[in-house]
Amino acid sequence: MGYIKYKALFKMILEGVIILSFVLITPLSYGQFSRSMRQIPIGNSDYNGFARMDKVFYNMPLGDGREADFFFKFTSDPRMEPKYMGMYWSIPFFDTKVYKTAEGRYKWKSPNHGTYTFNRVQKAEKGFLESYILNTTGTWKLNVGKTDIEIRRVNSSDEYYIFKKGNLVLFRSGEGADMFEIRYDKSDKPGLIYNKTKRSEEMRFVYNEEGLLKNIILKNKDRIYIEYGVCDTYGDDGVSKLGKSYKSVSSIRYPDNREDRYEYTAESEKKERKYLTRDDEEYSARVSVNRITQKSSGGNEGYIEWDASTGLIMSDSGGEYAIRNPLFDNMHPEKDEYLFAGDRKRGRATQESRISYKKPEYKHAEIWDYSVRNAIKITQDPNTGEQTRTSYIGTPGNASMRIRKIEKKISKADEWEMQITKAYDDNGNLIREIDKD
């Protein structure tokens, strides 16, 4: 079993023109794990190298011709605590949080897990205690009130996101869009999404006696049914089993009677996990392994395996992975270097990672490599082995994260060949582009 490439329907893009972007996708094959292009660069790996799969279950109309995507997310990221769907699972739409990280600085962890930083401005807007501005393009502002926090587009009063007690409670996606309210229960679990403009329910959430999500009732009264079973996997020490005290999703049944069933196992023997160094050398180590197996109503079956102690992906039914992520990999030889030790101490997200995915049918590995520090992305074509290096403008300003240059390198070559260079003015407008042709 491989994976399906499709674009994420729900994307929070603060640095761009819009905050909600929605794209129609190719119909899913439910016998296969599926992926979000925003979150998962290669196969069933996310940009950190953790195992991940997404399951879209609803497209909510926003009232302006666009739709917001709701999906279940499975992840082996050990930082994710069990919530209202047990171990490993969540609904990213509700993971968005606003929090203060330092004096004069706020961060927003959006539903796509992009993290955006706001810096305090000298004078607060009228009616607020403090005001902040997006530290890159300055196109969004964050205002702190006595009981709530709002994020609003600078040049539009119709695009805003309001938080109370850290939870998103009200939002509108722009001119012509409807206003939506999210209501939570006493345990801060999502209970209802209500369209205030149309005065109608969009989605209701029902929980079982254990506090786990068992039903999602959609606008047309269709229901999604979720069942749970024992999560028989190793803990992050790679030795202890989670056992009966932990539960996770065992079945998801959709309104059209399609059903995906899941099993979780701690493999009986250790296996070789491959990892990469900065110089792209490949090593391996024997580790304890967890596996999730998916069986679909159509008879298809697939699996993903990951290192129990780190959460980093090792293989799936399509191929094998090699990961470089010194921030999260406790076996990596670079983990104690000054940069990574400092990032770990400050609780930063991954600044550098490289994922290699080798499928038997391809001559070369597919590669995704990104450095936040240098704003450089490298990818490799698995058919030809040709690599593409894209450099972005990593400094704050109106041109932040615009493409600065694109280079290519054929398989086994030593030098990069320039393809395109671009230059921008102070307003972020393209003023010069030089193509090699």
In angstroms, the CA 120 to CA 108 distance is 14
The answer to whether residues 107 and 116 touch, using CB atoms and an 8 Å cutoff, is yes
For 143, residues 6+ apart whose C-beta sits below 8 A from its C-beta are 124, 125, 128, 130, 131, 132, 149, 150, 152
Question: Which residues make beta-bridge pairs with 225?
Answer: 215, 253
* C-alpha closest to that of 67 among 57, 75, 76: 57
Residue 39 pLDDT: 55
User: What's the rounded Cα separation, in Å, for the pair 262 and 93?
Assistant: 22
- DSSP letters, 312-342, are BEEEETTEEEEEE-TTT-TT-TTTTSHHHHH
Q: What are phi and psi of 397, to 5 degrees?
A: 140, 180
pLDDT on residue 36:
43
d(CA 278, CA 358): 19
pLDDT of residue 1: 38
What would the two tokens of residue 196 be?
Answer: 């205030």
How far apart (Å, rounded) are the C-alpha atoms in residues 379 and 416? 13
Listing DSSP states for 128-144 in one string gives -SEEEEESSS--EEEEE
Please tell me the predicted confidence (pLDDT) of residue 280.
82
Looking at residue 7, its pLDDT comes to 28
| Entry pTM | 0.86
Q: What is the distance between the alpha carbons of residues 142 and 26, in angstroms, rounded to a whole number?
A: 36
- Token pair of 181, please? 């309210």
The pLDDT, as a whole number, for residue 37 is 39
The Cα–Cα gap between 156 and 61 comes to: 21
Structural contact between residues 294 and 262, judged by C-beta atoms closer than 8 angstroms: yes
Q: Where are the alpha helices (DSSP H) in 225-363?
A: 338-345
Measured between alpha carbons, how far is 352 from 31 in angstroms, rounded to an integer? 33
Amino acid at 58: Y
C-alpha span between 20 and 66 (Å, rounded): 9
Give the strand pairing for 223-230 and 213-218.
Answer: antiparallel
The radius of gyration of the chain from alpha carbons, rounded to an integer in Å, stands at 22
Bridge partners of residue 379, in order along the sequence: 368, 388
Sign of CA dihedral 159, 163, 167, 170: negative
Q: Is 344 helix (H, G, I), strand (E, B) or coil?
A: helix
Mean pLDDT split into 10-residue runs, the chain, 437 residues: 30 30 25 41 90 92 89 93 95 90 88 80 94 90 95 90 93 93 94 97 96 96 96 92 91 95 96 90 92 90 96 96 91 85 78 93 94 92 96 88 95 93 92 89
